[in-house]
Amino acid sequence: MDLLVAWDWEYDLAFVTRLVNRATEAGLAARALHTREIEAGASINPAEVKVLLDRASDVSQAVASLARAARQAGAYVVNDPDLVPDATDKATMHLRLMAAGVHVPWTILLAPLADRRPGELDALPRIGTPFVVKPARGSGGQGVVVDASTLTDILVARARFKDDKYLVQERVEPKVVDQRPAYFRVLFCLGDIAVCFWDPKTRVYTPLSPEQEASAWCQEVREVARVTARVSGMDLFSTEVAMTADGRPVSVDYVNDMCDLRPASEASDGVPDRLLDAIVARLVVLARQGPPTTATTRQ
């Protein structure tokens, strides 16, 4: 089988259908399996899978096991479930990105609440107010406080997920570019990078113009995504970058795995269809040409 898609989220149906149809039209053997089918023992030989797109191992151990078995048999897995835990841990990625030279917000990393240490928040004045508090393993904005200003705010936030690490970060204010806040959602797929203006409140994408895509600042934003892919090991993810008043591209939200791939034609805050089609096309190329080297996909 050239391409197997394992999926679970009901809103993934449009993307999954589009991908399987495109692969089939290209003459490939493609199949999509919902977690219900995989957990029920669907007939699938991991050794026969060339490429597996994992959209469900975060909610299904059966899918994670299938992905690992396929990988061990020689399949290329997007994204490898054994790399995901570190890639989606904001505390881990903060340190990796900083070590790789990527601009990140001023941050205090906090241990789980039960392991809090005296003086761990002594540097809080450097962060400024208001500031952001977020759990290291949160997703979809869950548990994030964007307008914290007191120690009590931090304590209340940490108590919500008391077993998780937390980040206390400066709130990054983007400059204005072409009459828009320079806040971007970036989609990375096997080396292809799409940059869009993105409103974190409405979550609506605005594609860049050709002139904006050719700009120096856009190339800097793309480079942040490239480095993020390299240090995380992820092949398909979204990330968020803000361009500050002093011209720094700051990584604000590091790796969104199982990123939202609803099409804009069906959801107002979905991915523009042209960009979604490009992701589909890139995955079809992967399935047609076979597993590439890691260096090729994350250049």
Tens digit of pLDDT at every position of the chain (299 positions): 999 999 999 999 999 999 999 999 999 999 999 999 999 988 899 999 999 999 999 999 999 999 999 999 999 999 999 999 999 999 999 999 999 999 999 999 999 998 989 999 999 999 999 999 999 998 777 889 999 999 999 999 999 999 999 999 999 999 999 999 999 999 999 999 999 999 999 999 999 999 999 999 999 999 999 999 999 999 999 999 999 999 999 999 999 999 999 999 999 999 999 999 999 999 999 999 976 654 444 44
Give the pLDDT score at 133: 96
Residue with tokens 């393993």: 137
Give the pLDDT score at 291: 66
Domain extent listing, the chain = 3-79, 106-170, 176-259
Token reading at 21: 């149809």
Give the pLDDT score at 294: 47
**DSSP-based three-state secondary structure for 292:** coil
CA distances from 35 to 42, 55, 62, 76, 112 (A): 10, 10, 8, 19, 32
Give the pLDDT score at 42: 85
- Tell which CATH architecture fits domain 176-259: 2-Layer Sandwich (3.30)
CATH of domain 106-170: 3.30.1490.20
Whole-number Å distance between alpha carbons of 9 and 125: 41
Q: Where are the beta strands (DSSP E) in the chain?
A: 3-7, 30-34, 51-55, 76-78, 107-110, 131-135, 145-148, 166-170, 176-177, 180-181, 183-189, 192-198, 205-207, 236-243, 249-256
Whole-number Å distance between alpha carbons of 224 and 250: 8
Give the pLDDT score at 140: 74
Whole-number Å distance between alpha carbons of 236 and 47: 23
- Tell which CATH architecture fits domain 3-79: 3-Layer(aba) Sandwich (3.40)
pTM metric for this prediction: 0.93
Give the pLDDT score at 290: 78
Q: Compute CA 171 distance to the chain's CA centroid, rounded to the nearest angstrom.
A: 20
